[in-house]
Amino acid sequence: MPSSPRPPRFLQACRGEAVDATPVWLMRQAGRYMAEYRDLRSRHTLLELIANPELAAEVTLMPVKRFDLDAAILFSDLLPPLVALGLGLEFVKDEGPRILRPLRTVRDIDLVPCPSAEESLPETLAAIRMLRPELDTRGVPLIGFGGAPFTLAAYAIEGGGSRGYDRARTLMLSEPAAWQRLMKKITAFQADYLTAQAKAGAQALQVFDSWVGVLGQAEYQRYVAPYNKQLFAALKKTGVPVIHFTTRTAAYLEDVAADGSDLLGVDAQLPIATVRNRLGWNKPVQGNLEPLALLAPWHELKHRIDEVLDGNQGRPGHIFNVGHGLVPSTDPDAVARLVDYVHERAAVSR
């Protein structure tokens, strides 16, 4: 009787299981560094790509077809949920996202609706359903994703990207009751949205807390952690692994890890050995190569890859990734060489 196929090593590592080689995928692995993506973007806006399931699926598959990656991540963006919440969104060239109706008053917050994610973002779910058959034939699992409550609230109040999100933090500190109401609404929507992605076929979920590092530890504990805990408790019911990715949270990494995700995605602030020693080696982690290292000559890039792999000490529960998204000037050949080297070096070490 034939044996059942081995689970993908990415999902094994998410569960802290031993793998035959370190799994690797890269944030923004489908993006502007790829000529085929730039060609598509010359004909479609970002929001058009996201809103068209066929195009979103096409972009998701681009890096999987080109590199030996251990996971695909759905092509989308953090911010479409703000459209569903009635705030509007556009992407301005050379500026980034702009929220058309930002939340600037308590009344604005109280008028935010609580829609159904399945009804308001059906295109994303259609793209997931479209992708699974193709990815299944390749043995590559699909990661769905969304923004963490703080990151979405920060964009919603600030009106776009910001260095310190001062406007959002000021409202948080001066109107804590209104902040609580907003975070409850966003948490409920994101739980609904990410659960719907898992039901549509996503085999893992990543929650991006991209800007939470602007907060201190006490602010995080009071204004953010309760809602992250609610979100991860809800997502636990999906049965798929949940990754919590944060940046600039080295000062309170243990608080972030305690919020309830299955594994933690970390930036390049700390050596991976330090992260794993602080969190305990039973907590799976993802990371943490500096993405600019891919712009360096191979001997320097190889050295940085080795630092991450050596720091993990061959222990299970590690997924190799960059500590933030790939930059547009990344050479695709460097990506290919990185992916192959991570697999080959890990295989040799065993």
- Reported as a single tens digit per residue, the pLDDT across 229-243 is 999 999 999 999 999
Among 14, 31, 32, which Cα is nearest to 23's? 14
- How far is the C-alpha of 110 from the C-alpha of 265, rounded, in Å? 33
Q: How confident is the model at residue 38 (pLDDT cuts 50, 70, 90)?
A: very high
Asked if 41 contacts 49 with a C-beta cutoff of 8 angstroms, the reply is yes
Res 5: pLDDT: 56
Per-residue model confidence (pLDDT) at position 299: 97
* Top-confidence range, 26-30, 96-100, 157-161: 26-30
φ and ψ at residue 11, rounded to 5 degrees: -70, -35
For the cut 70, the answer to whether the pLDDT of residue 4 exceeds it is no
Residue 84 near residue 58, CB atoms below 8 Å: no
Helix, strand, coil % over all residues of the chain, rounded to 5: 55, 10, 35
Q: Which of 32, 98, 167, 222 is catalytic?
A: 32
pLDDT above 90 (res 301): yes
Percent of the chain at pLDDT > 90 equals: 93
pLDDT on residue 161: 86
Give residue 304's pLDDT band: very low, low, confident or very high (50, 70, 90): very high
Active-site residue, from 28, 33, 37, 276: 28
Nearest by Cα to 191 from 228, 235, 245: 235
Please say if the pLDDT value at position 348 is more than 60.
Answer: no
Q: Which of 70, 77, 192, 259 is catalytic?
A: 77
- Is 165 catalytic? The answer is no
CATH class entry, domain 9-349: alpha beta
Distance (Å) of CA 254 to CA 250, 251, 276: 9, 9, 11
- 341 annotated active-site: no
Q: pLDDT confidence of 346, banded at 50, 70, 90?
A: low
Residue 68 near residue 94 (C-beta atoms within 8 A): no
| pLDDT interval class at 347 (50, 70, 90) | low
Residue 188: band (very low, low, confident or very high) from pLDDT cuts 50, 70, 90: very high
CA 294 to chain centre: 19
- pLDDT computed for residue 162 by the predictor: 84
Query: Average pLDDT over the chain, rounded to whole?
Result: 94
More confident residue, 245 or 3: 245
Q: What is the pLDDT of residue 349?
A: 46
pLDDT of residue 345: 86
Read off the DSSP letter of residue 213: G
Q: What is the pLDDT of residue 2?
A: 39
Reading the block at residue 349, the tokens are 């070490």
Strands 72-73 and 142-147: parallel
pLDDT at 31 over 50: yes
Cα separation, 336 vs 37, whole angstroms: 16
pLDDT tens for residues 241-283? 999 999 999 999 999 999 999 999 999 999 999 999 999 999 9
User: For residues 146 and 157, is the Cβ–Cβ distance under 8 A?
Assistant: no
3-state secondary structure of 95: coil
The tokens for 301 are 């890039």
Main-chain phi, psi angles of 277, to 5 degrees: -65, -40
Average pLDDT over residues 163-190: 96
Give the per-residue pLDDT at 7: 76
Q: pLDDT-based confidence at 6, cuts 50/70/90? A: low
pLDDT of residue 235: 98
The one catalytic residue among 37, 155, 193, 223: 155
Question: Is 77 an annotated catalytic residue?
Answer: yes
Confidence of residue 94 (pLDDT cuts 50, 70, 90): confident
Distance CA 217, CA 92 (A): 33
Cβ atoms 206, 148 nearer than 8 A:
no
User: Is 28 a residue of the active site?
Assistant: yes
> pLDDT-derived band of residue 350, with 50, 70 and 90 as boundaries?
very low
